[in-house]
Copies of this chain bind each other. A is one copy, B any other.
Amino acid sequence: MNPSHLSGAVLVLGSGLLGASIGLGLRARGLDVVLSDPSPSAQAVAVDIGAGRAFVPAQELHPELVVVAAPPDVSAQVVAGALTQYPSAVVVDIASVKGAILAQLEAMDSLAPGALARYVGTHPMAGRERSGPVAARGELFNSMPWVLCPSEFSSAHAIKVAHSLAIDLDAVVFRFTAEEHDAAVALVSHLPQVMASLVASRLAESPSAALSLSGNGLRDVTRIAASDPALWVQILGANAPKLLEIMQGVRTDLDRLINTLSAPTAPGARLDLAQLMTEGNEGQSRIPGKHGGPPQQYSWLTVLVDDKPGQIAKLLTEIGEIGVNVEDLRMDHSAGLQVGMVEISVLPAKRVALVEELTARGWKVLQ
């Protein structure tokens, strides 16, 4: 057990997926974690899985840190309550939009002067398709980005405590202003979310025969359309101005596309389509690769395997024997037949030798 960077008790307000996961992670560091949730059953489940001990209202508590893990809508209120009730604690929230919460806090008359020195807005960029404390896990934040957004009021001590929380949970710390953060997540998180939902909602009333032709392209584009509406309504609402700006850019491009499709043989139509596709190429190539490395630094190869237990293991065991590290792996879904294609990415320098060696061992490698 590695020691914590924190020392005092940590009060976690909210014991859903994220709150309970934070509790589990901090408990694993040996910290005293106190859990509180407006839902008695959510709190009880979180306590049961070992995420901390139950908050007892009558008991005096002097937490070093209060983590507000409440829904975005009520985070500012809960932060203000915690700043008032625990006048020596640092308070952080973990909502996925930061500017709106800071603005609400700044507008509150009820806060003691200087109280905001003890507040740091943060955003751990981790989540799961399932929600609630049952889905919690202490390793949820492991290697994931955790953005700290100190305000102009935040003290150096408060920032240090917030930083320790993220480090304790093995996250990778980023530091942005609330404004920069909200613009960034509007682009890399909220934009793909609404676009995935817009695509998927077109499928809602389509003929099933058409859907039988679905491939990995459609699956990938719509995967996050399965996200929780209740949470996303709050996120999109809270970051409306930043997202609006981006969506207006999308509408301009979409209108141009619609005009082009309305007259596909008109002069310039082909050029318009080519421009959309090329801009897409350029944007896509800017997304960083695995481990924050430069994009597209890996080479892919495809191997045919039977779809039965042990085949992929056998393949990967042999790749391990050959001494090559698999950087990424995708299974290609196929329609109707029980054979699979496994796409494997490796360092470009390793590729040729790997293909040769696998082929020599009898694998069907499709370069």
What residues of chain A have their CB less than 8 Å away from a CB belonging to chain B? 125, 129, 135, 137, 139-140, 142-145, 147, 170, 172, 174, 176, 180, 183-185, 187-189, 191-204, 206-215, 217-230, 232-233, 236-237, 240-241, 243-244, 246-251, 253-255, 257-258, 260-262, 264-265, 269-270, 273-274, 276-292, 300, 304, 307-310, 312-321, 323-326, 328-331, 333-339, 341, 364, 366-367
B-side contacts of A319, CB under 8 Å: 309, 313
Contact B187 A203 (CB under 8 A): yes
B-side contacts of A135, CB under 8 Å: 367
Partner of A214, one of B241, B287, B318: B287
Residue of B nearest to A223 (CB): B220
B-side contacts of A201, CB under 8 Å: 253, 276, 279-280, 282-283
Contact B276 A198 (CB under 8 A): yes
A310 to B246, CA, bound (A): 43
Partner of A223, one of B284, B291, B325: B284
B-side contacts of A318, CB under 8 Å: 313
B-side contacts of A232, CB under 8 Å: 273, 277
Residue of B nearest to A253 (CB): B198
B-side contacts of A279, CB under 8 Å: 197, 200-201, 204
B-side contacts of A292, CB under 8 Å: 212, 335-336
Contact A258 B247 (CB under 8 A): yes
A92 shortest CB reach to chain B, Å? 18
Given known contacts A206-B187, A209-B180, A254 and B250 CB-to-CB distance under 8 angstroms: yes
Contact B229 A217 (CB under 8 A): no
Interface-central residue, A195, A326, A339, by most chain B CB under 10 Å: A195
Partner of A274, one of B208, B233, B247: B233
This chain's copy number in the assembly: 2
Residue of B nearest to A265 (CB): B237
Contact B144 A226 (CB under 8 A): no
A205 shortest CB reach to chain B, Å? 8
Contact A273 B335 (CB under 8 A): no
Contact B283 A337 (CB under 8 A): no
Partner of A221, one of B196, B204, B226, B244: B196
Given known contacts A172-B337, A197-B280, A218-B192, A137 and B258 CB-to-CB distance under 8 angstroms: no
A-B contact pairs, 25 of them (CB 8 A): A137-B366, A142-B339, A143-B339, A184-B207, A187-B203, A187-B211, A192-B199, A194-B276, A196-B280, A198-B254, A200-B284, A201-B280, A204-B286, A217-B224, A220-B223, A236-B261, A251-B258, A254-B254, A290-B333, A291-B335, A291-B336, A292-B335, A309-B320, A313-B319, A316-B316
A330 shortest CB reach to chain B, Å? 7
